[in-house]
Structure 1
Amino acid sequence: MLGTQFRTGSPIWIDLGSPDTATAAAFYGAVFGWEFASAGPETGGYGFFQKGGATVAALGPLTEPGARSAWTTYFRADDARATARAVAAAGGAVRVAPVSLGESTFAQLTDPQGTQFAVLQSAQGLQRASEDDTLVWVELHVRDPQAAIAFYRGLFGWRAQEMQAPGMTYQVLSIGEGDQQEGSFGGVAPLQDGGQDARWVPYFAVADADTIVAAVGDNGGTVLMPAANVPGVGRIAWLADPAQAVFAVLRPDPRQM
């Protein structure tokens, strides 16, 4: 289960790049009850989404030319600079070269299938996860799941376990040490036809997926997939915020917790 005891390859941070941070902060405040706290004037508008005083995500303005609003998942790296070099050597791209901020170093990267992600070399990360209104799962959608698994296994040592899902074969990802089920944090699914881009999709745990779907519609967002039950998983909905950044929500099946 995704937690806050970060090991190599764990999701450690997540942030939203938005063309209108004020609107984004208001939207996620209305949907999840998050409060936005600025990181200071020197950060160019970057800041933290907090729930009960704990950081659960972050928000900042778009900084890359031509970038579209999107959530970015950061994975913990033992050496961010070495990981960036490995991505380039494996056919991916380094969009933002490693940057050091205090005792932390991050880099913005793209895998060989065009999926954007990031790495963070740090002992600190999200302060809450796998509880209501916090990150609970990350899901990779790509044309070639097996090639993607091989790429990320080379970076982080991830393991993958196949499971059958409605209409597809789904791969459950876990970090490369310890109990595989306990260390699971995400999955890989084949990209569906229809012109979708390869991407990592964050799932946020919620107490009531239908209530969240209604709140998204009431606050200028878009319902991409209405809430539906997935056997053995829970109740899921796919959504987009007013700037069309995609995310999902999950009311976990209590039998799986």
Structure 2
Amino acid sequence: MKLDKPVPGGPCWTELGTSDLEAAKGFYADLFGWRPETDPDKEAGGYTVAYLGDAAVAAISPLYQESQPVAWNVSFAVADADATVDALQDAGGTVVLGPMDVFDLGRFAVVFDPTGAAFQLWQARSFPGAALFNAPGALGWVELMTRAPDRATEFYTTVFGWSLSASEDYPQWGIAGADFGGMVTMGEHFPHEVPAHWLPYFAVEDVDDTAAATVGAGGSMLMEPTSVPEGPRIAVLRDPQGALFGIYLAGDER
């Protein structure tokens, strides 16, 4: 990812909703070297921020609703959450929650694009988002998986002003020339019940070792370690509770 800090329209944070908070904290601490700190305030509902050193890099939280899936969620920075929600709805998106204030940290909303992919909007106040990108254990890429790429392109370029490269093999999203993610068309090899979704990728020092460690800890591999032509070495994994995430070789950004 060519972005190294949160910018308007770009990915700024990723958080996991999980069915077993303590197990997930231990799994990712071992896998990525995270130091998880759970907010003791009851109003925070067990929300846990993961750190690398002093840098906040991601979050883990319990499931807050019965209908909420075990999944990683991607947040995009916006200057005005309410105005973005209006633009999003005009472009065919839907709002699940918010916009609402999160203490003095910021204002957020949970939304769906017209192709069914959920994501979050984050209007920063005291908390801008991740303090580290592209380093081992930190977020370094986001990928939209969708069955309607043309509709997704129209939506995201309208709402966020993103650019999209002309590559047929792997179109990439960007802001002012800085690519931060890609888009994959979900073909017949994707099970019908798998919805469109955003997939976060974390940088790691060794893709093969991290994939093996995931399996050893009770997770699984959806895509085994693969070297992408003219791209990084990557893998797509599932944690022991069922959440999907990607990894790629640090320093080998797209």
- For residue 172 of structure 1, report the CA deviation from its aligned partner: 0.7
Q: Which residue of the partner structure matches residue 153 of structure 2?
A: 149
- Paired with 2:247 and 2:69, the residues of 1 have a C-alpha distance of 21
- For residue 48 of structure 1, report the CA deviation from its aligned partner: 0.4
- For residue 65 of structure 1, report the CA deviation from its aligned partner: 3.1
- For residue 227 of structure 1, report the CA deviation from its aligned partner: 0.4
Q: Which residue of the partner structure matches residue 8 of structure 1?
A: 8
AA at the equivalent of 2:67: G
Q: Which residue of the partner structure matches residue 81 of structure 2?
A: 80
**Structure 1 residues 26-79: Cα deviation after superposition (integer angstroms, max 9, x where no partner):** 111111111111122230100101112211100111113311111110001111
Q: Does the CA-based 8 Å contact 1:233-1:252 persist in structure 2?
A: no
Q: Which residue of the partner structure matches residue 249 of structure 1?
A: 247
Q: Which residue of the partner structure matches residue 220 of structure 2?
A: 222
- For residue 107 of structure 1, report the CA deviation from its aligned partner: 0.4
Q: Does the CA-based 8 Å contact 1:2-1:137 persist in structure 2?
A: no
Does 2:119 match 1:117?
Answer: yes
Choose the corresponding residue for 1:126, options 112, 130, 139: 130
- Paired with 1:109 and 1:64, the residues of 2 have a C-alpha distance of 15
Structure 1 gap segments, 5+ residues each: none
Choose the corresponding residue for 1:186, options 173, 176, 181: 181
RMSD: 1.6
- Paired with 2:39 and 2:3, the residues of 1 have a C-alpha distance of 23
Does 2:65 match 1:64?
Answer: yes
Q: Which residue of the partner structure matches residue 171 of structure 2?
A: 171
- Paired with 2:124 and 2:41, the residues of 1 have a C-alpha distance of 23
Q: Does the CA-based 8 Å contact 2:206-2:249 persist in structure 1?
A: yes
**Structure 1 residues 60-114: Cα deviation after superposition (integer angstroms, max 9, x where no partner):** 1111331111111000111101112222232221111111121511101011111
Structure 2 gap segments, 5+ residues each: none
Q: Which residue of the partner structure matches residue 206 of structure 1?
A: 204
Q: Does the CA-based 8 Å contact 2:174-2:181 persist in structure 1?
A: yes
- Paired with 2:212 and 2:105, the residues of 1 have a C-alpha distance of 41
- Paired with 2:221 and 2:84, the residues of 1 have a C-alpha distance of 36
Q: Which residue of the partner structure matches residue 47 of structure 2?
A: 46
Q: Does the CA-based 8 Å contact 2:173-2:179 persist in structure 1?
A: yes
- Paired with 1:41 and 1:4, the residues of 2 have a C-alpha distance of 31
Helix, strand or coil: the match of 2:240? coil
Helix, strand or coil: the match of 1:7? coil
- Paired with 1:239 and 1:88, the residues of 2 have a C-alpha distance of 32
AA at the equivalent of 2:162: W
- Paired with 1:188 and 1:122, the residues of 2 have a C-alpha distance of 26
Paired residues in the alignment total 247
Q: Does the CA-based 8 Å contact 2:135-2:250 persist in structure 1?
A: no
